[in-house]
Every structure is written in C-alpha cells, then in structure tokens.
Amino acid sequence: MTGLSWFVAFLFVFGVLAYHRASLIIWTISFALLGIFVSTYHGFTVAVALMWLLFGALFLTLNVSAWRQRFITKYLFKFYLNVMPSMSKTEREAISAGTVTWEGDLFRGNPDWNKLLNQTPAKLTQEEEGFLAGPVETLCRMIDNWDITHTRMDLSPEVWSYIKQQGFFGLIIPKEYGGKQFSAYAHSQILVKLSGRSVTVASIVAVPNSLGPAELLLHYGTQDQKEYYLPKLAKGEEVPCFALTSPIAGSDAGSMTDNGVVCWGEYLGQKTLGIRLNFDKRYITLAPVATVVGLAFKLYDPDHLLGEKEDIGITCALIPRNTQGVTIGRRHFPLDNPFQNGPIQGKNVFIPVDWIIGGVAQAGKGWRMLMESLAAGRSISLPANTMGGAKVAAYATGAYSRIRRQFNMPIGKFEGVEEPLARIGAYTYLMDAARTFAVASVDAGEKPSVASAIVKYHATELGRKIACDSMDIHGGKGICLGPKNYLGRNYEAAPIAITVEGANILTRNMIIFGQGVIRCHPYVLAEMEAARLTNPHDALAAFDKAVTKHVAFAISNVVRALVLGITGSYFVKAPPGKMKRYYQQATRFSSAFAFLVDVCMLTFGGHLKRKETISARLGDILSYLYLLSATLKFYHDQGENSEDLPLVRYACLTCLFEIQERFDEIIKNFPNRMLAWILKVLIFPVGERFCKPMDKLNRKISQLLMAPTASRNRLSAGAFLSAENNVLADMQNALVQTIAAEPIDKVISTAKKEGLITGYTYLDQANAALEAKIITQEQYDLCMQAMQSRMKVIAVDDFSNEELARTDTNEEIKIDNVIPHPRVGGEV
C-alpha cells in the first residue's frame, strides 16, 4: 500500500471514531491496531518507528490523567481563565434557575428521536375537562368584549364576581388550601379559551396564576404565610399583583433602585424588627384592584440586625394594599386594552421582616425565586394568551376567505390571499405544538428555563404575524372596531405580549442562547464551575475532566457536520414514516449547530455575550430546532393524521429554511473570513438546499381552512366556538351555507352567461332563475339563507357620535379595607 492509501485509512478510522463519539480507550486501541497493520506491512522502518514514538507520546499523555493535566490541560486552563466571561450575581442566578429538557439534547448534536416521541404528551384530567366545559364555557358566554374594552374599560361586576367565586384565581393553588391544583396544560387550555374571547379577561385570570404571590408562596413561603394567604387567594378574597418593573430597572433588574433598610420600628403598637421601604413601580398588572402586593426590592442591613452582610440583595415581600405609605389605584392604558394595570409607589413604608416571602431565611434570594418561577410560568401564560387569538384568527379567516367574494370568486382562491392564509394555518399549528410540548415538560416536573424563553418569544412573534395577516385578509372588516369585530383587540394586544415577561429583543439577543449555551451545552457549565473552585488542584482536575470530553465532542461535531452535509443525512437513524427526512435533517443541523457553537466560543471567548447579533442567530437556530422537534412530536401525538400533512410540512420546511438562513447569516458576518470559509465548506459542503414552502403547499393549506375540515377543527380545538353569543358561530353557519349554495350559484351564473336569465344583482338573477325553473324553490331558499348569513358576517359596526363616546358606566371594584393585616409568621 502507498502512503496515500495509509493516509486515507487513517482518515477513515479517524472519521468513524469521531462520528460515533468513541471513548478515548477505543481511539487508543483502534490506532494501535492500525499501527500494527502498518508495521506488519512495511516492517520496522524509521518512518514506522517515528509513528510509534508519536503514538506513544500522544496517547500515553492523553490516557494518563496526571500527564494530561501537566502537559496539556494546565495551559488550556490558564487560557480559559483569561477568556471566561464575568457574570453578575443576577446573571448567575438567572442561568442557574430552572432545568434542562429537550433543548439539551439538541445541543449535543445527536438527538434521540425515540426519547422525544416517548415523552408523555400533555393531557387533561376528567376534572379539568369538566372545568373547561363548565365554568370556563360559562365565563366565555358572559363576556361582552366590546362592553369591556369600550364602554366600561373594565370587567362587569358580574364577571369579576364569577371569576372569584369559581376559583379562577386559584388554578395553581393546591386543593388543601382551597385551590384547583390544575396541571400546567389545563392552566394553558383555560387561558387559550378565554383569550380568544377577551384578552382582557385572560390577562386578569393569568396573572394570579403566573408570576405572583401564589406561585412564590407555594415554593418559598413559610407555612404560616401559606395557611394565611393561599386560601384567601384561591377564593378571590385577596387579589394579588407582583411589582417588579420600575422606571429605572426594566430588563436590568440589577439596576433596581427600589430599596428596603432593615431597622427597628413600630407595628401594632409594639417595637418590631422590620424594613423601611421606598419604591416606585410601574406596568403592574392587577395593581389598581390588588389587595396584596408582592414586591421585589434591594434589601440593605447597615446595622447588621440580620447578620454580617450589609448588601443582602434582591428580596421579595408581601404587603397589604392599605399599608401606610403605599400609593396605588391609578391605571396605565396599554394599547386600548383595559386590563387592570398601573403604577405602585411606596414612601417610608414600614413592614415587619416576617412579611418577607419565606421569612428572613429567604432574604436576598428574591431574584432566584423569580427566575425559577419564570422558568416554568413563561411557557404558560403568554403563549396561551397568544394561542387563543391565533386559533380564532385561523378559524375565522379561513371561513371569511370562502364567504367573502370579489370578482365573482371567494377571495381565498386568489394566490395573494392563499399565501398569508397558509401562514396563518401553519404558524398556528407550529405555535400549538411548541406550547403543548413546553407545558408537558412543566407537568413532568421540569422548569424549562431555556425552552420557556423559546416558546414565549416565538409564540408571541408568530402571533403578531398571524394577527397582521388576518387583518390584511379581512381588510376593512378587520379595522372597524365594534361588537362585530373579532380581530381588532387581539391585533392591538399583540405588542403587549411581545413586551412583557422579558421583552422579545432581550429574550432573543441575550436569554435564549446566553442561558442555553451554559445550561444546555454538555460541558460548558462544568468548565465554568471548575474555574470557580478555590482549590487549584481540584479546579484543574475538574476542568481536565470536562475539557477532555469537550474537545472530543467538538472533534466529533466537525466530522458529523461534514459527513451529514455531504450525504444529505440520508443514513441517519430516524423514526420511519412520512416525517423521516425531517428528523434526519434536524439531526444534521443539530450537529452543525453544536460545532458552530464551539467555534464561536473559541473565537470570541468571553466577548460572545456582547456579540448579540451572532448570539441571537445562534439562539434562532436552537429555537427552530426546538420548534421543529415540537412539530414532529405534535403530529405524532395527534395520531399522524394525513390530512394535517400540509400544515406539518409547511411548519417543518419553515423551520429548516430559517435554520439554514441563520447559519448563512452567521458565516457571512463572521469576522475571521478564513474561518468563515472553512465553516461554509463544513456546514454546507454541497450548498444551501432549503427554500421557503412552495406555492402548491399554500393552496393545500388554504383549502383546509376554507372548509369545515377535520384539520380546521383540530387547529381551532380549545377555542370558544359555541353558538350562544358568539360571532364565530355565525361565521361557521355562513361558511356551511355558502359551501352548500355554491353549486346553485354556479348554475345561476351559467344561466346568466348563456342569456337564459337577466338581472343586475345577484338577487335579481336568483329570482329570474326561480321563475324560469332553472332552480327549485328549495335551492332558491338555500341561496337566500346563504346570502343573508354572508351579509351578517361581513357587516361592520357604525355609531353615532354619542354612541362612540365612552360613557362613565364603569362600576368601581370594591376592595376590602381590612386593617391591618396580621403579621404572618408572628404575632397579630
């Protein structure tokens, strides 16, 4: 054999071992065997002797940990300490909060698809189904969204009372405290149904069950605090809010100026150890009607009354509304949606230290408490609220596209309408898949911090696109507000969901990848923890263990990215069926992503978190891999309905195209152009092959949405579609009658063209056709019913000046002025 042959053999063995991520001992044995073959074939020559010398030096050093640490790892560790990014306390607490779910598998570059498909899907209990079919359905029927958003600028007293009496504020509270103790999926389904009816109502129900006093008390409160507050919260006797954002500190909680100083003061006539608070909060949902305020502030102890620390850190406390010094009650007006939201101020507010959530033991741990709560909650409330609007939009816009006619044909048959209508359908399917996948993880006991950020960001962004596409298709019908409008308020509310619980710009640029690379990468967190160890020997040993595996992992991903790119990933093991190619392509991009992440970390080091456009695109790749995975699982869990294939294919192709585009954008903007060229060759060795979904797919999805198909029913499942007091029921009725009348309309149109009848209007022509016995009386009646139903649906509201003026019918929500609250955990 020639030297070239042996080199090819070397590359083959190297590639196979790297591709399959062989252990170090397997690498050693494999190359030892290759060396024996070379020695046997060529004899013991100088070249062979040098080969064995190199082999011994390399593999002995790698296999003997003491030698490896002395000659290799020690220098890598020094380099790592120089480039490791600095992190603030709030950053460390945010990163350490929550757990890692499927996104961790995607970071490994070789996801186990059977593991994904075997995960327990989200499911409702019989009790949860009963609540949705009973109280939630009843509440939806009670809602008059025009009355709420225009006339009252608030819920009616009857709706407020019903929400409290039926336990809508206690969905997450355990039964032992009088709550419902529902699953995350049930919580999400309730909000989906309500939000399609009224964003205002859904927001009011969401807040007490999301990031707020109940959630924090459940996980961190003292037993006394739980026993006092949770039953009252569950019954609606206490209305909670949580005050975090301030004029100075929005996304940057570390800059919070709201503060409390530990001191002695007087409470209920007794000398009491407490906290003197000064704060200024805004954007606080339910604040105007809240009876108890959850407050985040920085706590200081200059006199060391609690311990040696002076700067204790962010702390959370519960403060009754009527506490002296608290100013509350005024309202913000977020984009014409009148859910209760407003500012809270406090000046020289004295509270006992017992009011800290969890007591003194939890002082300074507030930020971690909030991040851990958001890790789960972020995947529930906002995605569900957006999902409700998307389901209504898909259901109604598909029907409207069939009912509304221009140029003698349904507008949905125009290619210009088919394109946005297909987006509405596919994006709704994609959102539902991601939302369901994430809440199933929560119900499995996880707190998926990275996954929840992914779902929150993409659900709200896709929701905004769906709202815009729906408005474009509806035209004037969409922009004229009034009782007949079912799109306008959700369209107005779209930016609100984009903004809260971590503004989407922040979420995309800093959270998804910033947290993801540390929490989800198999070795980065271990390396960082090793670097923080104070014992040099232990630090080096821990770093050596992590970095050795990391280097092997990186080499493997280089090989896997190239091999899968060349082969088109056809040989990747994947679940059989019509989705097999999507699984295979996802595996390919997962390997390429893992490779690119390591290259970026090596290139930018600690500066990567400041390269926000690069890190945002890396986060996009991870996000779309997660969304693609969720779509495939959703299709599998729903029984692989073949009728849904156009929706599934559109969603999958969109994800793959977006992943490809983000890779391309990173490579084009990579500062080291030589390295960028190498990345291009390794990740796209045969070029970029994915494109946006084809036009024929748009047509198939449009046809699914413009008829009462099973796919359309599945897509809108969970929305409020009942006939009573619901314009969507009118829409469905008009759709069914329009479809039934279409063959008759065609007969009338043909008769007109052939000169058999005359008439300037459709009504004239139908009357003429009946007189000429071209259609029967029964057919005529069906056409008239369809025409009346269509006119009812396409009608818009109009008002006199007096009617349009908002009248002062708002009835004040009474807040019990109980004074003062007992010192929970202490004396009354």
CA 426, 432, 435, 440: dihedral to nearest 10 degrees? -130
Residue among 501, 658, 724, 754 flagged as catalytic:
501
Cα–Cα distances (Å) from 233 to 130, 573, 766, in that order, read 22, 51, 61
Cβ atoms of 100 and 524 within 8 Å: the answer is no
Give the CA count within 13 Å in the CB-facing half-sphere of 754: 9
**117 burial via Cβ count (<10 Å: 0-12, 13-18, 19+):** middle
Q: What are phi and psi of 359, to 5 degrees?
A: 80, -170
Cβ atoms of 192 and 388 within 8 Å: the answer is yes
| Beta strand pairing call for 292-300 and 240-243 | parallel
Tokens of 664: 């391309």
Cα–Cα distances (Å) from 632 to 121, 406, 574, 584, 792, in that order, read 12, 38, 12, 12, 39
Q: In the structure, how many helices (H) and strands (E) does the chain have?
A: 36, 9
User: Which helix (H) or strand (E) covers residue 491, if one does?
Assistant: helix 488-499
- Report the alpha-carbon distance of residue 334 to residue 496 in Å, rounded: 7
Neighbours of 768 (CB within 10 A): 18
Cβ atoms of 649 and 578 within 8 Å: the answer is no
Residue 308 annotated in active site: no
User: What does the DSSP assignment read for 508-545?
Assistant: IIIIHHHHHHHHTSTTHHHHHHHHT-SSHHHHHHHHHH
Residue 725 Ramachandran class (φ > 0 left, ψ -120 to 50 alpha, else beta) = left
- Report the alpha-carbon distance of residue 418 to residue 702 in Å, rounded: 6
Q: What angle do CA 429, 433, 436 make, to 5 degrees?
A: 135
- Report the alpha-carbon distance of residue 208 to residue 286 in Å, rounded: 9
- Report the alpha-carbon distance of residue 783 to residue 385 in Å, rounded: 38
Tokens of 222: 């003292």
Q: What angle do CA 191, 194, 199 make, to 5 degrees?
A: 95
Q: Write down the residue that tokens 């300074």 correspond to.
A: 364
- Report the alpha-carbon distance of residue 538 to residue 68 in Å, rounded: 15
Question: What type of residue is 67?
Answer: W
- Report the alpha-carbon distance of residue 153 to residue 338 in Å, rounded: 5
**45 burial via Cβ count (<10 Å: 0-12, 13-18, 19+):** exposed
| CA quadruple 228, 231, 237, 243: dihedral sign | positive
258 contacts: CB under 8 Å, gap ≥ 6: 246, 249, 277, 278, 279, 280, 281, 295, 296, 297, 298
Cβ atoms of 275 and 251 within 8 Å: the answer is no
- Report the alpha-carbon distance of residue 256 to residue 243 in Å, rounded: 12
Cβ atoms of 398 and 738 within 8 Å: the answer is no
Q: What are phi and psi of 126, to 5 degrees?
A: -60, -40
Question: What type of residue is 775?
Answer: I
CA 484 to chain centroid: 31
33 contacts: CB under 8 Å, gap ≥ 6: none
Q: What angle do CA 187, 432, 662 make, to 5 degrees?
A: 125
- Report the alpha-carbon distance of residue 751 to residue 745 in Å, rounded: 10
Active site residues per annotation: 501
